[in-house]
Amino acid sequence: MQCINRSCKTLVAVVINLSNRSFVAPDRLRALFSTVKMSLEQAKQVAASRAVDEFVTNNCIFGVGSGSTVVYAVQRLAERVETENLKVTCIPTSFQAKQLIVKHKLVLGELDTNPEIDVTIDGADEVDSNLTLIKGGGGCLLQEKIVASCSKKLIVIADYTKDSAKLGDRYKKGIPIEVVPMAYVPIRNKIAALYGGELKLRSAVAKAGPVVTDNGNFILDWLFTNQDLDWETVDRDIKMIPGVVETGLFVKMCHKAYFGHPEGNVVERS
């Protein structure tokens, strides 16, 4: 872990050198970036394992969140199911989550048969000091919010870079808003008129045109400018606009958050 810290410091030095226009060998730079990325993955993994160890119990109904951090939670869950012979029914929050459940040979459930979930473990794009969340960086906000709303507890797992005092301090891509495709322009205008900022239709990476969600909708990313808004009111106001399906604002839903650090420690907030 000291090695990771050293690498982070070296990377900072490299960036300073770059800004001073000193020469840096590309291979060395690539290696440093990859070390920092590795340490972020380790941070996600320790947070995920801690949450699964603390909240998953025998016979529980378990909501499986979406995103890269949740991958580690499902891996840890599969280990525990195997070694402790646990019975856990998993409710997915996305196509990705469903694939993870199937890949790890876990029991797949659905809200039709399990409308009450004991605990859901999910990632987040940003978590503020009140446990208000921005979610939906991966486009899964709608099913994530439905599953969270059916859960006795929503537990967030994240690396330390998601831990924020105020929304917008660290996550710069805005608040995702899932909308019915035909309404994206009027919705964009109405939100800008209500609260300001800029709304961008999210573009797909390996496809021409916009991202289409698991539910066949579009995503607007709202780059808000006022960080001191009452997020509960904002969430309600935006959802009143016809054509808005859901927002990535999760207010008063999160029970506890675990932030993993590269050194292996986990900071908890509840």
Ligand X SMILES: O=C[C@H](O)[C@H](O)[C@H](O)COP(=O)(O)O
Active site residue 144: yes
Q: Which of 46, 48, 117, 124 binds ligand X (CB under 6 A)?
A: 124
Verify binding: residue 66, ligand X, rule CB under 6 A: yes
Verify binding: residue 163, ligand X, rule CB under 6 A: no
Verify binding: residue 74, ligand X, rule CB under 6 A: no
Work out the burial of residue 201: count CB atoms within 10 Å of its CB; fewer than 13 is exposed, 13-18 middle, 19 or more buried: middle
SS3 246: strand
Q: Are 77 and 104 in contact (CB under 8 A)?
A: yes
- Given the complex with ligand X, which of 109 and 136 has the nearer CB atom? 136
Q: Of the listed 82, 84, 116, 144, which one is catalytic? A: 144
Q: % helix / strand / coil in the chain, to the nearest 5?
A: 40, 25, 35
CA distances to 90, 95, 167, 234, 235 from 226, in Å? 38, 33, 10, 11, 14
Span of 16-24, 132-140, 177-185, 253-261 interacting with ligand X by CB under 6 A: 132-140
Question: At CA 146, angle to CA 71 and CA 59, rounded to 5?
Answer: 60
Verify binding: residue 168, ligand X, rule CB under 6 A: no
Q: Residue count at the site for ligand X (CB under 6 A)?
A: 17
Q: How far is the CB of 147 from ligand X (least distance, A)?
A: 11
Span of 67-75, 103-111, 183-191, 215-223 interacting with ligand X by CB under 6 A: 67-75
* Cα–Cα distance measured from residue 146 to residue 142, given in angstroms and rounded to the nearest whole number: 6
Residues making contact with ligand X (CB under 6 A) = 65-69, 122-125, 135-141, 144
Q: Which residues are catalytic?
A: 144
